[in-house]
Amino acid sequence: MKNQIGIEAMAVHVPKRYLDLSDLAAARGVDPAKYTIGLGVKEMAVADSGEDTVALAATALLRLLEQHPIDRTRIGMLAVGTETGVDHSKPIASYVQGCLELPQTMRTFDLKHACYGGTAALMACADWIASGSGAGKVAIAIAADIARYELGSPGEPTQGAGAVAMLVSDDPRLLTLHHPAISGVSSADVHDFWRPHGRREALVDGHYSIECYLEALSGAYRGWRAKAAEADLIDGDARVPSESLARIAYHVPFCKMAQKAHARVRAVDLEDLGESTTDGIEKESFERQVAPSLALPRRIGNAYTASLYLGVAGLLTAEGSSLARRPIGLFSYGSGCTSEFFSAVVGERAATSALARDVAQALEERERIGVEEYERLIAAQASSSAPAGRPSSRSTFRFAGVEAGRRRYTRA
Ligand code: COA
């Protein structure tokens, strides 16, 4: 078994266009404070018709390999977590392999369980390396999605799009997982959010999905805490066990969810200590432990599988140097549902990696669009034709239409 496993490098890719949610609120006749304060969201990324999940995932991986060049024959596995694939059978991983002309000597596959898929991909890669099956090779985990709800529905302000590519290896310069198995899991067969075959937009029982998320979090967190205590990872000086973690990044379908999640984790800790479930410092604790990971999700919106990892990327960018050698918690939730609470240690060199430049660039190069243009782009995403004209885009790879039933991609 390898001792140190985790993320050696990561890159993010988000669409060039975004909608300011105060513009959406005005168009829908909603008080903007409901979105900005009630849901805690500010902007959401909008993919154009050439930017499907393949284009986002392939561009994220290209950025990763440009910033962190490795001998491509060392990649032995490419696992993609997504819930917005483009084919019932052919995985996004296979298209990505083709776009980047990666060698044939690798496993390629997708993993699906709603927003948990990115974590499933990361864990599959970590387990493969830890078991020795990788035989010295490295693995790539990608989380990529375009979140879609019906226009005008309560879910509409919680859309977004993006991809995060992670190089997983036994040289984890960014993040060393507490691996194997210092994690807690909780799953149940529920219909809180789903997308039947033939539908582009998800169906969701929104308020119930929040309850399912919090219930799963309670179980997964208790599971992690028991294993962390056994492994002596809980800091004896911490007033409650969750304070042993310098930061906690939660899956964020909308940023207010992280606030609800953190309140639940503290309530579980306090309840299990036999105390009242509030102690008056929830807000301070949230600002210190959680808010730093919300910078990117607040600007990009919900990118389903990628949301948690956008949070982690933003966190490492903003606080990589002060968090070096310190433990952080991660909570991944996929409706339906499954969930995992796990932890990792921030690497010494996290702050100096190319990630910070990548994240800054991703935000700087964006363009604000109006509601009319957003609605036009959403309608165009459904087309199977090549996008008309040559739209300026941050995506190096682009969907170029369907020929003889086969999806084609071009490289800018
Ligand atoms: N000013 C400030 N806050 C306001 C407000 C206003 N004018 N109007 C409403 N709010 C607050 C509400 O109090 C609520 O906060 P709370 O949850 O802390 O009580 C929040 O804004 C949302 O309002 P609500 O009426 O519950 O919104 P909604 O019924 O339209 O939908 C979701 C909210 C999250 C259910 C909906 O966006 C959704 O279905 N999203 C997709 C599913 C999802 O993301 N699930 C998460 C788990 S995976």
pLDDT for the residue 237: 81
pLDDT for the residue 104: 97
Residue 5 pLDDT > 70, yes or no?
yes
pLDDT for the residue 351: 76
Q: Cα separation of 219 and 184, whole Å?
A: 7
Phi, psi of 171 (to 5 degrees): -130, 65
Instruction: Name the DSSP letter for residue 342.
Output: E
Spatial neighbors of 307 by CB under 8 A, at least 6 apart, are 115, 160, 251, 252, 253, 297
pLDDT for the residue 238: 83
pLDDT for the residue 2: 54
Percent of the chain with pLDDT over 90: 84
Name residue 250's beta-bridge partners. 331
| Ligand 1 pocket test target in 36, 148, 158, 260 with most atoms within 8 Å of CB | 158
Peptide bond preceding 180: is omega within 30 degrees of 0, i.e. cis? yes
pLDDT in tens, 76-116: 999 999 999 999 999 999 999 999 999 999 999 999 999 99
Strands (E) in 157-215, as ranges, are 160-169, 175-177, 183-187, 193-194, 203-204
The mean pLDDT of 227-249, rounded to a whole number, is 92
Q: Nearest to residue 58, comparing CAs of 412, 404, 363?
A: 412
Angle at the Cα of 353 from the Cα atoms of 244 and 180, rounded to 5 degrees: 45
pLDDT band at 235 (very low <50, low <70, confident <90, very high): confident
Phi, psi of 65 (to 5 degrees): -75, -25
pLDDT band at 392 (very low <50, low <70, confident <90, very high): low
Residue with CA at minimum distance from ligand 1 atom 34 = 206
Centroid of ligand 1 to alpha carbon of 47 (angstroms): 24
Poorest-pLDDT segment among 169-178, 231-240, 246-255, 301-310: 231-240
pLDDT band at 390 (very low <50, low <70, confident <90, very high): low
Centroid of ligand 1 to alpha carbon of 190 (angstroms): 20
Residue 376 pLDDT > 70, yes or no?
yes
How much is the pTM? 0.96
Q: Cα separation of 113 and 99, whole Å?
A: 25
The mean pLDDT of 396-405, rounded to a whole number, is 93
Q: What angle do helix axes 355-364 and 53-67 make, rounded to 10 degrees?
A: 140
pLDDT for the residue 178: 93
SS3 assignment, position 121: helix
Q: Cβ < 6 Å from ligand 1: which residues? A: 31, 33-34, 37-39, 154-155, 158, 193, 204, 206-207, 209-210, 213, 253-254, 256-257, 335
pLDDT for the residue 282: 85
Q: Cα separation of 319 and 306, whole Å?
A: 20
pLDDT in tens, 274-314: 888 777 788 999 999 999 999 999 999 999 999 999 999 99
Poorest-pLDDT segment among 152-156, 179-183, 205-209, 260-264: 179-183
Mean pLDDT over each residue of the chain, to the nearest integer: 94
Centroid of ligand 1 to alpha carbon of 38 (angstroms): 6
Residue with CA at minimum distance from ligand 1 atom 21 = 38
More confident: 168 or 384: 168
Instruction: Name the DSSP letter for residue 115.
Output: B
Q: Which residue has the tokens 């284009």?
A: 55
- Which ligand 1 atom is the nearest neighbour of the CA of 38? 21
Centroid of ligand 1 to alpha carbon of 409 (angstroms): 38
Give the other-Cβ count within 10 Å of 86's Cβ. Answer: 16
Name residue 168's beta-bridge partners. 7, 139
Which residues have a catalytic role annotated? 83, 115, 251
Q: Residue 344 has which token pair?
A: 């990792």
Would you say how long the chain is, in residues?
Answer: 412
| Ligand 1 pocket test target in 34, 42, 156, 190 with most atoms within 8 Å of CB | 34
Poorest-pLDDT segment among 179-183, 260-264, 337-341: 179-183
Instruction: Name the DSSP letter for residue 251.
Output: P
Q: What is the DSSP string of 274-306?
A: TS-S--S-HHHHHHHHTGGGGHHHHHHB--GGG
Q: Are 405 and 29 in contact (CB under 8 A)?
A: no
pLDDT for the residue 174: 95
More confident: 395 or 64: 64
Q: Are 299 and 43 in contact (CB under 8 A)?
A: yes
Spatial neighbors of 169 by CB under 8 A, at least 6 apart, are 5, 6, 8, 129, 138, 139
Poorest-pLDDT segment among 164-178, 237-251, 344-358: 344-358
pLDDT for the residue 394: 77
